[in-house]
Amino acid sequence: MHIKPLGKNVLIKPLTEKETKSGILLPASAKEKPQEGKVIAVGEGKWENDKRVPLSVKAGDKVLFKQYGGEEIKVDGEELKILEEEDILAIIE
């Protein structure tokens, strides 16, 4: 299934850590929600003064986003998030 975000929305695949730095595996319930992700798709941009302004992020960017922002969805068994551009804090270079 292909999902294309609308307007100023961004589709992100959260990145997860499999284990802690000490090598101990944690159950999913004990882990914090990931705050880093990879941009999968972006909307066309937002409207300002009757002009479409493109988003600051693009597909493939690794980003840092608000921990509890956006909507979690499941597509083809994969957990993704749809966020507004304002919920993205930074691009990780």
Give pLDDT tens digits for 37-67: 999 999 999 888 999 999 999 999 999 999 8
| Model confidence band, residue 19 (pLDDT cutoffs 50, 70, 90) | very low
| Domains, the chain, ordered by start | 1-15+27-54+63-85 (2.30.33.40)
Write the DSSP assignment of 4-43 as a string of letters.
Answer: ---TTEEEEEE---SS-TTS----GGGSPPP-EEEEEEE-
- Share above pLDDT 70 across residues of the chain, in percent, rounded to a whole number: 80
Which amino acid is it at 83? L
